[in-house]
Amino acid sequence: MDYPKYFPKCPLCESTMRVVGEEMSELKKEGKISLDRIPASNRKLLPLMDLGRAALSFPVLQFYQDVCQNCGFEYTHTITNTKMTIDQLQVLMQQLMGIGSPQR
């Protein structure tokens, strides 16, 4: 398969307006967020590896989700495929789960 894969429309109502996407668009215009950052309300990781074998790096599918501004449905809008090491994956998973984040 070729990556990245894009799904620009909500599968329920076909709107292209997404909550986090719209908010981040404004912040990108203001220079407060990197232009290459993918907006997402949720991000899931799927390591494609055999846990019984050691590997220096392996492919990881990343699913970026956002909420439709029109109907409120959360859906995957972008899928990427990247190579990561175990260390990189552990750090990223800790960030996504909020482990080690400062208390507010």
Predicted confidence pLDDT, tens digits, the chain (104 residues):
899 999 999 999 999 999 999 999 999 999 999 999 999 999 998 888 876 776 788 899 999 999 999 999 999 999 999 998 888 888 887 887 776 544 44
What's the domain range around 88?
5-97
Does some domain include residue 60?
yes
Does some domain include residue 102?
no
Query: How many domains, in total, are found in the chain?
Result: 1
Does some domain include residue 103?
no
Does some domain include residue 29?
yes
* Stated pTM of the model: 0.80
Does some domain include residue 45?
yes
Q: For residues 82 and 92, what is the distance between their CA atoms, to the nearest angstrom?
A: 13
Does some domain include residue 104?
no
Q: Say which residues have a Cβ less than 8 Å from residue 59's Cβ, sequence separation at least 6.
A: 47, 48, 49, 81, 82, 83
